[in-house]
Structure 1
Amino acid sequence: MSMSTRTLLTLICEAALEPRLIKDLQRLGAPGWTLSDARGSGTRGVRSAGWDNDGNIRLEVVCGRERAEQIVHHLQERYYDDYAMICYLSDVEVLRPQKF
């Protein structure tokens, strides 16, 4: 079994941003993404789950490091000042690296 290293970009933010983020990911060349509802508590208080505008989403992208950093830079420049958002990168081992 041959494994390759890629970068997992994880973004947790306000559900209201979903349509804009999907367009951004397409434009920035993300090879794909996984989107789910999220709930939790942080510096901006408790956030409930659900797909309405009051909830949070968790968006994950597996891609090359350079593309992940490009996406993170865009998110920071465009959204960080005005929206509840956290983003982090992790190295992950994947099968079928050509997919990412």
Structure 2
Amino acid sequence: MVMTAEEGPAKLVSIVTEAAVETLLLREIEAMGIDGYTIADVRGRGTRGRRSGSWDASASIRVDVVCAPVRAEALALRVKERFAPGYALFIFICDAWVP
């Protein structure tokens, strides 16, 4: 079953984490039946220091998923449980609209 956002209210789940977990993270997302996402290389500074992205070990990614509101919290909780203990991770959920 494909769980993509239909026209109307949706949620944007943005996951910022270490690039090293990209493959594992995408497996988790796809295992939930979500087949659409956007990935971007990102850099910045936060409580865990500066992430320049100029060295593979310090590279970060942002994965954006637009999904039904009911799926957004489940996705965020699953990603938090799986990755927060061992990796830098920031998740935020915003209102979105699918035209």
Q: CA deviation at 1:51?
A: 8.3
Q: Which amino acid aligns with 1:11?
A: I
Separation of aligned partners in 2, 1:50 and 1:15: 12
TM-score, normalisation: structure 2: 0.86
TM-score, normalisation: structure 1: 0.86
**Runs of 5+ unmatched residues, structure 2:** 1-6
Q: Is the 8 A contact 1:40 1:46 kept in 2?
A: yes
Paired positions, count: 93
Which stretches of structure 1, 4 residues or more, deviate above 3 A after TM superposition? none
Does residue 95 of structure 2 align to residue 91 of structure 1? yes
Q: How does 1:54-93 map to 2 (within 5 A)?
A: 54-93=58-97
* Overall identity of the aligned pairs, in %: 37
RMSD of equivalent CA atoms: 1.5
What does the per-residue CA deviation read over 1:41-100, in whole Å, with 9 as the maximum and x for residues that have no partner? 0000000136834200010000001111111111111111211000010011121xxxxx
